Amino acid sequence: MNESEFILVGATTKASEQFIYYLKFKGLPFAVVTNNKQEQQHLSEIGADHAIVLDTTEHETWIAPKYRIGKIFLFESSLSLCCRYLQIIRKWSSKPVYVITERDNARFIYKGLGADHVIYSKTGNVSFLLD
């Protein structure tokens, strides 16, 4: 990973929180994406210093951040929200996009929207993807 690139995390699950703790531990630059201020506050409390708050209904607000985005990790809590995030942020990076899901039937949907890898996991522990 290029030092000037931020890892982008769609963080709305316990597994994503553990992933954020791991990113902090490793000292890797990262940002989180969220669609509401309460979640942004919570993510800030657990160590996310950079947050992108998207209005998923307003296309005009889907502007890429000023910093470069590298790998993208979306932790699915909702099929529709994860799909919307994919539609918005896929074009922000040429690096791989990972969707981490507990559903085994959404793979083709996510692949069709631009995910490079769909990881089926009951635990959500995907820190090995950073090593």
- Taking alpha carbons only, the member of 65, 108, 114, 113 closest to residue 94 is 114
pTM of the model: 0.92
How many domains are there within the chain?
1
Considering the chain, what percentage of its residues have pLDDT values greater than 90? Answer: 65
Q: Which domain holds residue 122?
A: 5-130
Cα 51 to Cα 14, 97, 103, 113: the distances in Å are: 17, 18, 26, 23
| CATH label of the domain that carries residue 62 | 3.40.50.720
Contact predicate 9/40, CB 8 Å: no
- Widest pairwise Cα distance in the chain: 36
pLDDT digits (tens, 9 = 90+) for 15-33: 999 999 999 999 999 999 9
